């Protein structure tokens, strides 16, 4: 192993990363700095400090990043109406570049020459963390214990804890699922979900009621947009992270945001996962609604054509790549006139757009009306438009080319 003096570890205080602290100290004979981020996972992060101190860690960083996460990562992503493979709202993916950024910044602040994470060698997160780190600090060394050690099961990790006197909670009735939560979503993998035919158990879900158990009365919300971002709910001005928190609560209470998919991981395997993204589900539906009246047709279609590539870049860990940054500039430019209010109705798992209005609306009721338009639109103009668009097909037909 190459010499490492100090390493910054993305530390949760759980079993895996507690083992990693001791493993790094033993195998690399280095000082470990821990970094714990509060990105809205809904659990207290401060206990990680005491756990790190017991492991001999001297420099401990615990930070509330909810505002930055929502403002600089989640909201820019939603301006693009981003979904991966037609369904996934990228809740886990979008959190990783922020964590990678802070790992590198803390490494710079503390003089560390390496960073480390607890992602396994099978998943996407190892790629996301490391691509981000290399983009921001090309010479940084990355230590990924799961690709080096032989502690390949929970039992082996617990045995390591016993041998090295590492205090970890051994909860009875522990969830059988591997879960990841942040301000935007919570994910579930493993357990019975490894069988794509098995239905997820109702008691697995934590953020939402089932649509069947949702209220019989619909909930209406009015979302105010400025430059493509929600800035108020029902007239109450809110910061980005407050918007997501409120929409999560209201959406979850109405059974909104559950998803069960089989996705294609970047490393090549298929993976079945379940997700709860109540606020994000509402945000996506409402943003498309406000764009429908404020965006030019060809600009909207261009955005839609670019979105799958943009989503793939985020999913695969290329948030800090030049191509993602370039796409973001185009997306942000497109949002200049995406202002107004969208009214949505939440009912038993559904998000229904009930109205949209904007001072920047391109919807012209004088032209769109089915009643007398007073001559604003000359219907005879359509004849030449149709003939010009049919020209290439008419020429081909004259040449005897089959259209079947």
DSSP of 141-171, one letter per residue? EEE-GGGT-S--SHHHHHHHHHHHT------
Inter-residue contact 64 to 203 (CB < 8 Å) = no
The question of whether 16 is a catalytic residue gets the answer yes
pLDDT for position 77: 98
Q: Given 49, 71, 178, 361, which residue is catalytic?
A: 178
Higher-confidence residue of 286 and 165: namely: 286
CB burial of residue 346 (10 Å; 0-12, 13-18, 19+): buried
pLDDT for position 138: 96
173 pLDDT higher than 80: no
pLDDT for position 171: 53
Q: What DSSP assignment string belongs to 328-369?
A: HHHHHHHTTT--EEEEEEEETTEEEEEEEE-TT----HHHH-
Q: Given 96, 102, 272, 356, which residue is catalytic?
A: 96
Question: What is the Cα–Cα distance from 20 to 149, expressed in whole angstroms?
Answer: 10
Question: What is the Cα–Cα distance from 99 to 187, expressed in whole angstroms?
Answer: 18
Mean per-residue pLDDT for 291-310? 98
Q: Which residues of 196-232 are buried (b: 16+ CB within 10 A; e: fewer)?
A: eeeebeeebbebbbeeeebeeeeeebbbbbeebbbbe
The question of whether 38 is a catalytic residue gets the answer no
How far, in whole angstroms, is CA 117 from its chain's centroid? Answer: 19
CA angle 169, 175, 178 (to 5 degrees): 95
Q: What share of the chain is helix, strand, coil (3-state, %, to 5)?
A: 45, 20, 35
End-to-end Cα spacing for the chain? 66
46 pLDDT higher than 60: yes
Question: What is the Cα–Cα distance from 117 to 180, expressed in whole angstroms?
Answer: 15
Question: What is the Cα–Cα distance from 345 to 36, expressed in whole angstroms?
Answer: 37
Q: Given 125, 128, 229, 356, which residue is catalytic?
A: 125
The per-residue pLDDT for range 79-134, each reduced to its tens digit, is: 999 999 999 999 999 999 999 999 999 999 999 999 999 999 988 999 999 999 99
The question of whether 125 is a catalytic residue gets the answer yes
Dihedral sign of CA atoms 156, 159, 51, 105 in order: negative
pLDDT for position 368: 80
Domains of the chain listed by start with CATH number: 6-71+89-164 (3.40.50.620), 178-295+337-357 (3.90.1260.10), 368-398 (no CATH)
pTM above 0.85, yes or no: yes
176 pLDDT higher than 90: no
pLDDT for position 272: 96
pLDDT for position 175: 67
Question: What is the Cα–Cα distance from 381 to 123, expressed in whole angstroms?
Answer: 56
Mean per-residue pLDDT for 318-341? 98
Question: What is the Cα–Cα distance from 158 to 27, expressed in whole angstroms?
Answer: 18
The question of whether 66 is a catalytic residue gets the answer no
Q: Given 16, 38, 180, 229, which residue is catalytic?
A: 16
Mean per-residue pLDDT for 342-371? 93
Q: What tokens appear for 350 in the block?
A: 């559904």
Inter-residue contact 42 to 26 (CB < 8 Å) = no
42 pLDDT higher than 90: no
337 pLDDT higher than 80: yes
184 pLDDT higher than 90: yes
Q: In angstroms, what CA-CA distances link 313 with 94, 99, 280, 287? A: 10, 17, 19, 21
Inter-residue contact 273 to 193 (CB < 8 Å) = yes
Mean pLDDT (the chain) is 94
In 156-290, the DSSP E strands lie at 178-181, 186-189, 219-226, 229-233, 236-237, 258-264, 270-276
pLDDT range class, residue 229, cuts 50, 70, 90: very high
- pLDDT more than 90, % of the chain: 84
């Amino acid at each position: 192993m190459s010499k490492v003096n100090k390493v910054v570890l993305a530390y949760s205080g759980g079993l895996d990363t507690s083992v990693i602290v001791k493993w790094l100290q033993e195998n690399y004979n280095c000082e470990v700095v821990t970094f714990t981020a509060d990105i809205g996972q809904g659990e207290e992060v401060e206990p990680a400090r005491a756990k790190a101190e017991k492991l001999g860690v001297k420099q401990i960083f615990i930070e509330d990043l909810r505002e930055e996460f929502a403002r600089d990562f989640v909201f820019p992503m939603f301006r693009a109406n981003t979904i991966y493979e037609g369904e996934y709202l990228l809740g886990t993916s979008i959190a990783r570049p922020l964590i990678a950024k802070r790992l590198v910044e803390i490494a710079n602040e503390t003089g560390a020459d390496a960073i480390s994470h607890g992602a396994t060698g099978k998943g996407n997160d190892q790629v996301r963390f490391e691509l981000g780190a290399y983009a921001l600090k090309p010479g940084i060394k990355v230590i990924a214990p799961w690709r080096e050690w032989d502690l390949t099961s929970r039992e082996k990790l617990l045995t390591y804890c016993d041998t090295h006197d590492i205090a970890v909670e051994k909860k009875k009735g522990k969830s059988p699922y591997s879960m990841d939560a942040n301000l935007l979503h919570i994910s579930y993998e493993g357990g019975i979900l490894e069988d794509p035919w098995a239905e997820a158990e109702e008691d697995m879900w934590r953020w939402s009621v089932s649509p069947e158990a949702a209220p019989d009365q619909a909930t209406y919300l009015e979302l105010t947009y400025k430059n493509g971002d929600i800035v108020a709910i029902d007239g109450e001005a809110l910061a980005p992270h407050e918007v997501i928190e409120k929409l999560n609560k209201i959406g979850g209470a109405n059974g909104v945001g559950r998803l069960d998919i089989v996705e294609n991981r970047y490393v090549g395997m298929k993976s079945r996962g379940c997700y709860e993204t109540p606020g994000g589900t509402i945000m996506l539906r409402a943003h498309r609604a406000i764009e429908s009246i404020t965006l030019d047709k060809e600009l909207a279609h261009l955005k839609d054509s670019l979105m799958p590539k943009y989503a793939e870049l985020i999913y695969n860990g290329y948030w800090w790549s030049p191509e993602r940054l370039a796409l973001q500039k185009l997306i942000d430019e497109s949002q200049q006139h995406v202002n107004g209010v969208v009214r949505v109705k939440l009912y038993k798992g559904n998000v229904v757009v009930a109205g949209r209005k904007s001072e920047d609306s391109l919807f012209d009721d004088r032209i769109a009306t089915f009643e007398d338009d007073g001559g604003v639109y000359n219907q005879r103009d359509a004849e030449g438009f149709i003939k010009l668009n049919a020209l290439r097909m008419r020429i081909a037909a004259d040449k005897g080319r089959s259209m079947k």
